[in-house]
Structures are given as structure tokens and as C-alpha cells.
Amino acid sequence: MERNVTLDFVRGIAILGILLLNITAFGLPKAAYTNPAWYGEITQRDAWTWAFLDLFAQVKFLSLFALLFGAGLQMLLPRGKRWIQSRLTLLVLLGFIHGLFFWDGDILLAYGLVGLIAWRMVRDAQSVKTMFNTGVVLYLMGIVVLLLLGGISGSQPNRSWLPDAANLQYEAWWKTSGSMIEAISNRADMLSNALLALGAQYGWQLAGLMLLGAALMRSGWLKGQFSLRHYRRVGALLITLGMLINLPAIVAQWQLGWSYRWCAFFLQAPRELSAPFQAIGYAALAYGFWPQIGASKWANAIACVGRMALSNYLLQTLICITLFNHFGLFMKFDRLQLLAFVPPVWAANILFSLLWLKRFRQGPMEWLWRQCTARAAGTALARTSR
């Protein structure tokens, strides 16, 4: 089957865009990812950097990647139950290894677990409309749960929102100087908390996004089967709508001084609500302007990154963990300074992808994932037939 280069390009944009937020999680304490005033106060430079990323990137690129993951589930349906279950189970295993032994910000485990549920919903959906509406309902349920959690939470911030000096010192120690046992123990605690959040709240949204992406693929929208004018109008409309939803919440958080109860829960909801609009809008603009974009060498390079999405996601981890944990750069830079690390990592992703795909059809992790999936699915079939 001929590859959809535009889809690869959008996937590449998602992988590269995710790093804009992940760089904060690599270079600063865990609390900094959600709380811009994680150290009790904030500089104007930090605040403006946070606001810009919150408006254009926060949750948006993760949502875009989740939509494309759901589109992939739709494309995998002809492979059958054994293949899909084996593939997603292996992703769960890889995510567990990645999250436990390398980085506590892993998303692969969550995608694999939710995917094991979502693919059946994709398979059993009677129509595109049904699947799309179900995705919307699931996503909104996740936002409702977020608001309910805010309603029952106390007003005093916990350590994950506003850590004290001792906690910051300890996090810096185990990430840069502590033993492997200490690091694994702390990552295991974070992994368990992430799984609780996945089951209670985030899993609803992730499943909803996957169904939305599958519906967009089944309808032909993500295959580029609509007019250029349609994609351009949809892109402009959805991005504008998303920003209009998110911007008042950004201003409110700033005015409230990033108060825990409001900013950790209630004012997160507009951002979460805006993310699918902007994510789909970004994809729409890529499709709408593809005749102009596709002629660029950069478009081909980014599409190569998208073809090797898993390999490039893990490469980002290896580079950033080496820089911040092993070279001692953790907590040495603020948000704006950390963004200076992003273009070199992007360059590494692009160069690696271009050089690799000159000789091979798939990225190294994609190849390994496919081979292991084939073996696991074949073994399962063999056992069933005995």
C-alpha cells in the first residue's frame, strides 16, 4: 500500500511538537510541567513562555498524536484481532520499560492500555457518525471528571503542584546522582500515580481522541479526500475557536497567581476542551496547504520523522536524559532557556530519520515492533489451532 505522505508529515509534526512541552519535564522538576509557578514565584519571562506554549502547544500535540494513533487503529483492522492485540500488548510492555527504566514522562504505556480497549470500539462502530459521537462523549466525560476532582479537592496545594525545597533537592539528587535502584523506585511511584490518573480521568479523554481519529480516517478526512478549500476553512475555524476557548483561562490563571485549586483543576478544563479543536485544525492546515508544503525538502524530512515516530520519540528520551540527568543540566535552565535545546534535538531526529530511511524501509523500533508482533500473533494462532 502506498504511504500517505501528508499523514506521515502530520505525525512528524506531532512528534516534534511534543518535545516543546516535554523539554520542561526533562529539564525541570515534575511539578513544573503543570504549574508554571512551581517554585512559589515566577519571572515575567517564565510566565510569558508558559502562556505562549499553553496557547499553541500544551495538550495540542499530544491530542494530535492520539488522534493519529486512533487513525492507525482503524487502518490496522484488516490485520485482525490477534495482530492488533499483540501489537498493543507489546506497546504496553515497551511503555512500562521506558517509564520504569528511562523516563517518568512516558506516554506509550497509556496509549497501549487505552488502545486495547479503544480498538474494539473502533471495530464495532456501525458508522462514522456513531464512532465520532462516542469519541466526543468519552472526551467530555474526562473533562467532567476533571471538574469533579476539582470540586472535591482541598485548597491547599500538594507536593506534586508546589514541592518544598527538600522535595526539589531530593528529586534533583535521584535524577542526577542517585543509584539506579533509587531512580527505579521513584519512577515506579510516578508510574503508579500515572496509571491511577489514567483510570480515573485521562483515559476517558485518550479513548475519545482515538475514536475521533479513527472516525476521521474512516470518513476519508485523514486520507486527504476532501477539497483543499475545505481543509483550509476547517483549519482556520478550529484553531481560532480553540484559542478563543483557551485564552481566557490562561489570563485567569495568571490573574489568580496560579492558585492550586483553580489552576490544577477548573482552569485546566478550557485547555483540555480547546485541544482537539486546535489539533484537528493543525492537521487540516497541513492537508489544505499540502501542494505548497509538500514541495519543500523540509516536508519530506518531517514526513520521515513521522514514519519513524516510535524510534524518534525514544531518541528524544535518550538525548534529553543524557543531557539533563547524566551531564548534570537538570534544573540549570528556565523555561525559555530550555527551548534552546529543542531545535538541536529536532535536528537529530531529522538527520537520523533521513539517514536511516535511505537504507531501510522502517525505523529500527518500528521494525522490531513489527517483527515481535508477527511472532506473538503467530504463536497465539499456533496455540489456538492446536
Looking at residue 360, its pLDDT comes to 95
pLDDT at 174: 95
The grid coordinates listed for 175 are: 535524577
The residue ranges of every structural domain in the chain are: 5-385
Those residues whose C-beta lies under 8 Å from the C-beta of residue 34, and which sit 6 or more positions away, are 161, 264
Place of cell 483540555: 272
Share of the chain above pLDDT 90, in %: 87
- Rg of the chain taking only CA atoms, in angstroms: 21
Could you give the CA distance from residue 47 to residue 336 in angstroms, rounded to a whole number? 10
Q: When comparing pLDDT for 377 and 384, which is higher?
A: 377
Is it the case that residue 382 has pLDDT exceeding 60?
A: no
Q: CB 331: neighbour CB atoms within 10 A?
A: 18
Model confidence, pTM: 0.94
* CA 80 to centroid of chain Cα atoms: 26
| Dist CA 101 CA 326 (whole Å) | 14
Between 49 and 385, where is the model more confident? Answer: 49
Q: What is the mean pLDDT of residues 349-370?
A: 96
User: Which of 185, 164, 160, 165 lies closest to 175, judged by CA?
Assistant: 185
CA distance 9 to 21: 20
Distance CA 325, CA 174 (A): 9
- Confirm if 266 and 252 have CB atoms less than 8 A apart: no
DSSP 277-299: HHHHHHHHHHHHTHHHHTTSHHH
pLDDT score recorded for residue 252: 95
pLDDT tens digits for range 70-95: 999 999 999 999 999 999 999 999 99
Per-residue pLDDT tens over the stretch 299-344: 999 999 999 999 999 999 999 999 999 998 999 999 999 999 999 9
Q: What does the alpha-carbon distance between residue 57 and residue 19 come to, in Å, rounded to a whole number? A: 10
Q: What percent of the chain has pLDDT above 70?
A: 97
The long-range contacts involving 77-86, CB below 8 angstroms and separated by at least 24 positions, are 77/119, 77/122, 77/123, 82/377, 82/380, 82/381, 83/373, 83/374, 83/377, 84/119, 85/116, 85/377, 85/380, 86/372, 86/373, 86/376, 86/377, 86/380
Lowest mean pLDDT among 33-42, 103-112, 301-310: 33-42
List pLDDT tens digits, range 134-173: 999 999 999 999 999 998 887 778 888 889 999 999 999 9
SS3 state of residue 105? coil
pLDDT for the residue 178: 87
**Separation CA 237–CA 282 (nearest Å):** 11
| 17 pLDDT higher than 80 | yes
On the question of pLDDT at 105 being above 80, the answer is: yes
CB 49 within 8 A of CB 340: no
| Residue 386, pLDDT score | 31
C-alpha span between 259 and 155 (Å, rounded): 8
What residues contact residue 328 under an 8 Å CB cut-off, 6+ apart? 176
Average pLDDT, whole number, for the chain?
93
Residue 228: exposure state from Cβ atoms within 10 A (0-12, 13-18, ≥19) = middle
Residue type at position 7: L
User: What is the per-residue pLDDT for 381?
Assistant: 44
Quote the CA–CA distance of 148 and 144 in Å, as a whole number: 6
308 close to 366: Cβ distance less than 8 angstroms:
yes
Distance CA 152, CA 161 (A): 16
Does the pLDDT of residue 113 top 50, yes or no? Answer: yes
For residue 274, how many C-alpha atoms fall within 13 Å in the half-sphere facing its CB?
25
225-275: pLDDT as tens digits: 999 999 999 999 999 999 999 999 999 999 998 888 888 899 999 999 999
Strand, coil or helix: 57: coil
